[in-house]
């Protein structure tokens, strides 16, 4: 089959699945405001409570904790800030190494760098597109020296390996059970990058509740949005207090005095963004339902298209299907690019997966394991339109 033929088949499949009235240009993932967004935001404007304090911040945090089953949720200004603070509070220090997938959005690596720590890139599993705990374990056996205090050190670089940051790619959960086991064995803290996985459960438990801390994002392209925003999940009350303190300029509580006991950050989420978030969260179950229906349609239609495979969730997880993905049969940059060009030319927004971190100049000097699955997926994955509004009865 030639390139043109496969591109045509994919566009035909899109035309059958996606609503006709959107045929001008179908975006990859558009936000949908179908609930009480206007009411809640208007209330902020009417009352003047638009900024750093207000009832919607508290409510959003409570609603998030309820939905995810996490004892504590702290709202912050974006997902990157959530990652940054999570790593800080987890005890990562300048000079440490932090194991992260190379196949991720750049924010995961950047948050590690903000602290002065070094990202250490690990490979992903083909069936989750997220960190592969089995390959990680074999690698750690090879390169790590575990000290008597239980801490792991990299025998090659001499640096402490402090933490692992699994990322749940496109809303598909990493194999968390085994990862937790491996990390216990090597004394590694887990900080989850759950930026893409609100609404994703692994063995019945929400992603982001397996790590010591986890970061969620509410950027405009995520499953729900607050315009810009993020949250940190944790089960530890003491950690939750530290997170709140560090994200609100580390100001000591007082009726009028300005006294800050650490160099903190202004990372709190404004009330007006939280208002949007409360309205969005009310609709999350409905959005998840629609996204799943859209995913099933893609599954059915692409089962009939030779040359590509629709990426399906594993049985032990329940994906939020944030972004649907097609996989080419084998890595083929030319074929991938011609499909990207043709689909975008024909009104359907598609995108490749991120350029792996270790292939970018800003991170190509960082330590890494064999990344063959990452490099294979880079040239196989194509993301396709996935917004919840694209499903129509």
The site for ligand PLP (CB under 6 A) is made up of 78-80, 104-105, 107-108, 167, 193, 195-196, 217, 219, 230
> Please, where are the H alpha helices in the chain?
3-17, 37-47, 55-68, 79-89, 106-114, 133-143, 176-185, 237-247, 271-282, 284-302, 333-345, 372-378
Closest contact distance (angstroms) between CB of 237 and ligand PLP is 25
At residue 96, what are phi and psi to the nearest 5 degrees?
A: -75, 165
Closest contact distance (angstroms) between CB of 2 and ligand PLP is 34
Closest contact distance (angstroms) between CB of 40 and ligand PLP is 20
Closest contact distance (angstroms) between CB of 147 and ligand PLP is 31
Q: Do 125 and 60 touch, CB atoms closer than 8 A? A: no
Q: For residues 188 and 181, give the distance between their C-alpha atoms in angstroms, rounded to a whole number.
A: 10
Nearer to ligand PLP, 106 or 235 (CB): 106
| Region of residue 282 (phi > 0: left; psi between -120 and 50: alpha; otherwise: beta) | alpha
Closest contact distance (angstroms) between CB of 81 and ligand PLP is 7
Q: For residues 111 and 92, give the distance between their C-alpha atoms in angstroms, rounded to a whole number.
A: 11
Partnered with residue 75 across adjacent β-strands are: 231
Closest contact distance (angstroms) between CB of 338 and ligand PLP is 26
Q: Do 232 and 215 touch, CB atoms closer than 8 A? A: yes
Closest by CA position to 164, among listed 205, 156, 178: 178
Nearer to ligand PLP, 183 or 195 (CB): 195
Tell me the two tokens of residue 157. 């670089």
Nearer to ligand PLP, 195 or 279 (CB): 195
Burial 24-53 (b: 16+ CB within 10 A, else e): eebebbbbbeebbbeebbebbeeeebeeee
Which burial class, exposed, middle or buried, applies to 202 when counting CB atoms under 10 A from its CB (0-12, 13-18, 19+)? buried
Nearer to ligand PLP, 144 or 284 (CB): 284
Nearer to ligand PLP, 79 or 387 (CB): 79
Of all residues in the shown chain, the one whose CB is closest to ligand PLP is 79
Closest contact distance (angstroms) between CB of 74 and ligand PLP is 14
Closest contact distance (angstroms) between CB of 201 and ligand PLP is 18
Nearer to ligand PLP, 325 or 335 (CB): 325
Nearer to ligand PLP, 17 or 179 (CB): 179
Closest contact distance (angstroms) between CB of 151 and ligand PLP is 26
Tell me the two tokens of residue 55. 């009832």
Nearer to ligand PLP, 85 or 366 (CB): 85
> Count of residues for the chain?
393
Q: Do 122 and 100 touch, CB atoms closer than 8 A? A: yes
Q: For residues 205 and 85, give the distance between their C-alpha atoms in angstroms, rounded to a whole number.
A: 23
Nearer to ligand PLP, 216 or 327 (CB): 216
């Amino acid at each position: 089959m030639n390139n043109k033929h496969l591109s045509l088949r994919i566009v035909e499949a899109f035309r059958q699945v996606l609503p006709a009235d959107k045929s001008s240009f179908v975006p990859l993932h558009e936000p949908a405001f179908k609930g009480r967004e206007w009411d809640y935001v208007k209330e902020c404007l009417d009352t003047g409570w638009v900024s750093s304090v207000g009832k919607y911040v508290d409510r959003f945090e409570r609603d998030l904790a309820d939905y995810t089953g996490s004892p504590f949720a702290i709202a912050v200004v974006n997902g990157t800030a959530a990652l940054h603070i999570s790593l800080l509070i987890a005890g990562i220090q300048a000079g440490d190494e932090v194991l992260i997938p190379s196949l991720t959005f750049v924010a995961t690596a950047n948050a590690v760098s903000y602290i002065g720590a070094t990202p250490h890139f690990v490979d992903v599993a083909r069936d989750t597109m997220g960190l592969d705990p089995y390959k990680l374990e074999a690698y750690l056996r090879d390169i790590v020296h575990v000290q008597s205090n239980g801490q792991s050190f990299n025998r090659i670089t001499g640096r402490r390996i402090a933490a692992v940051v699994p990322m749940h790619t496109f809303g598909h959960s990493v194999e968390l059970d085994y990862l937790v086991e491996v990390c216990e064995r090597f004394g590694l803290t887990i900080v989850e990058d759950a930026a893409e996985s609100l609404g994703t459960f692994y063995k019945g438990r929400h992603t982001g509740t397996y790590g010591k801390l986890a970061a969620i994002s509410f950027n405009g392209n995520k499953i729900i949005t607050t315009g810009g925003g993020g949250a940190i999940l944790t089960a530890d009350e003491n950690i939750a207090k530290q997170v709140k303190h560090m994200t609100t300029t580390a100001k000591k509580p007082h009726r009028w005095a300005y006294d800050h006991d650490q160099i903190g950050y202004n990372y709190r989420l404004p009330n007006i963004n939280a208002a949007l978030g409360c309205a969005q969260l009310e609709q999350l179950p409905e959005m998840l339902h629609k996204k799943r229906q859209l995913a099933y349609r893609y599954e059915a239609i692409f089962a009939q298209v030779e040359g590509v495979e629709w990426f399906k969730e594993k049985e032990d997880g329940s994906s939020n299907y944030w972004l649907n993905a097609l996989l080419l049969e084998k890595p083929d940059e030319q074929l991938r690019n011609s499909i990207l060009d043709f689909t975008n030319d024909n009104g359907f927004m598609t995108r490749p997966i991120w350029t792996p971190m270790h292939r970018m100049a800003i991170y190509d000097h960082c330590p890494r394991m064999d990344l063959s699955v990452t490099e294979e997926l880079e040239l196989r994955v194509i993301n396709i339109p996935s917004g919840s509004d694209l499903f129509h009865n």
